[in-house]
């Protein structure tokens, strides 16, 4: 238990609530910005994950995704929520490979889970009709999936079901990391290694979202400890940021951000991330 808390603190961001001194380019417009509160974190969306998978030119592997038959194993709310996130990424994965009948089956499981966790309105008749009419259109499916996720996220946050939202997000993060590490294991690729390393950015965010629920039950603890184990490995990924002044085009309402972050991941950390992610993911889905 103590070890867990040590890891917790080592994985959390050091950019906690404090005043921030800012400057715009070379022009020093240092302004103290009072109280900073209400930190909300971003995590990868199914669309982002899929855009990347699409570029790799790899072939579909059905054995990687969570079986729809496992759905009956999920009795607790935590399991239902985290697997909602897992299936969300799986739907995106099958969609990108145009496995339309499989996608429909997975959407059906998402619908059932949504009803069980109080999100039945997300899959209303209109959404189902749109799904049925767009099964052959990959882009439309991904848009529907992302909109469904946003609607779920909105409802959960509005209805003060933040715990459910946090575990759905965690499920998405774990499944995308799991798929990437498994693809990398089968067909090593520098681009995938970079993408895995980029999950470092989300690791602290996911942990921060789950942290308030650590003591809630043994099930909560087990999942969060699994994430801490992975997060600890991400601490070994070195990042080096280089600032370059951005270029803004006011007419186009567009800013080009040219700053760069280099990430270095050691083979040992990559192997450990792969092992720990597989262990956690299998404990979640089975």
Q: How many residues bind another protein (CB under 8 A)?
A: 55
Q: Is 241 in the site for another protein (CB under 8 A)?
A: yes
Tell the smallest beta-carbon distance from residue 253 to another protein (Å): 5
Instruction: Determine the Cα–Cα distance for residues 117 and 268; give it in Å rounded to an integer.
Output: 39
Is 68 within 8 Å of 52 (Cβ atoms)? no
Pick the binder of another protein from 4, 5, 10, 21 (CB under 8 A).
21
- Give the closest residue to 219 by CA, choosing from 209, 232, 210, 230: 210
Q: Is 137 in the site for another protein (CB under 8 A)?
A: no
Is 41 within 8 Å of 208 (Cβ atoms)? yes
Is 171 within 8 Å of 153 (Cβ atoms)? no
| Contact partners, residue 46, CB within 8 Å, separation at least 6 | 88, 89, 91, 92, 142, 145, 146, 149, 172
Q: Is 252 in the site for another protein (CB under 8 A)?
A: yes
Residue 186 or 260 with smaller CB distance to another protein: 260
Residue 204 or 229 with smaller CB distance to another protein: 204
Pick the binder of another protein from 3, 6, 36, 73 (CB under 8 A).
36
Q: Is 46 in the site for another protein (CB under 8 A)?
A: yes
Other Cβ atoms less than 10 A from the Cβ of 180: the count is 24
Q: Is 13 in the site for another protein (CB under 8 A)?
A: yes
Q: Is 24 in the site for another protein (CB under 8 A)?
A: yes
Alpha helices (H) in 117-161, listed in sequence order: 125-133, 138-158
Instruction: Determine the Cα–Cα distance for residues 139 and 156; give it in Å rounded to an integer.
Output: 26
- Give the closest residue to 264 by CA, choosing from 228, 232, 239: 239
Window 78 to 107, contacts with another protein (CB under 8 A)? none
Q: Is 22 in the site for another protein (CB under 8 A)?
A: yes
Tell the smallest beta-carbon distance from residue 140 to another protein (Å): 11
| CA distance from start to end of the chain | 24
Pick the binder of another protein from 35, 72, 126, 286 (CB under 8 A).
35
What string marks each residue from 175 to 214 as x (binds another protein by CB under 8 A) or -? -----------------------x--xx--x---------
| Contact partners, residue 21, CB within 8 Å, separation at least 6 | 30, 31, 32
DSSP state of 235: T
Pick the binder of another protein from 4, 23, 133, 217 (CB under 8 A).
23
Q: Is 69 in the site for another protein (CB under 8 A)?
A: no
Is 168 within 8 Å of 237 (Cβ atoms)? no
Tell the smallest beta-carbon distance from residue 211 to another protein (Å): 14
Question: Residues interacting with another protein, by CB under 8 A?
Answer: 13, 15, 20-25, 29, 33-43, 45-48, 51, 139, 142-143, 146-147, 149-150, 153-154, 157-158, 198, 201-202, 205, 241, 243, 246, 248, 250, 252-261
């Amino acid at each position: 238990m103590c070890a867990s808390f040590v890891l917790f603190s080592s994985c959390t961001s050091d950019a906690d609530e404090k005043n921030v001194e800012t400057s715009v380019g070379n022009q020093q417009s240092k302004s103290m910005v009072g109280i900073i509160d209400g930190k909300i974190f971003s995590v990868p969306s199914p669309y982002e994950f899929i855009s990347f998978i699409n570029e790799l030119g790899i072939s579909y592997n059905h054995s990687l995704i969570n079986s729809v038959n496992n759905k009956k194993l999920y009795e607790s709310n935590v399991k239902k929520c985290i697997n909602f996130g897992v299936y969300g990424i799986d739907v995106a994965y099958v969609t990108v490979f145009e496995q339309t009948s499989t996608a429909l089956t997975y959407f059906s499981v998402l619908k059932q889970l949504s009803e069980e966790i109080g999100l039945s309105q997300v899959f209303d008749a209109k959404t189902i009709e749109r799904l049925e009419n767009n099964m052959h259109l990959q882009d439309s499916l991904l848009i529907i999936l992302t909109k469904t996720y946003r609607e779920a996220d909105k409802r959960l946050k509005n209805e003060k079901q933040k715990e459910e939202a946090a575990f759905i997000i965690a499920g998405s993060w774990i499944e995308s990391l799991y798929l990437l590490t498994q693809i990398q294991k089968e067909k090593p690729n520098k681009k995938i290694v970079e993408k895995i390393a980029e999950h470092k950015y989300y690791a602290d965010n996911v942990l921060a979202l789950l942290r308030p629920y650590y003591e809630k039950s043994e099930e909560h603890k087990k999942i969060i400890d699994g994430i801490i184990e992975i997060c600890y490995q991400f601490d070994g990924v070195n990042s080096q940021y280089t600032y370059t002044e951005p270029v803004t085009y006011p007419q186009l309402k567009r800013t080009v951000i040219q700053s760069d972050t280099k990430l270095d991941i050691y083979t040992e950390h990559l192997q450990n991330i792969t092992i720990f992610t597989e262990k956690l993911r299998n404990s979640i889905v089975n």
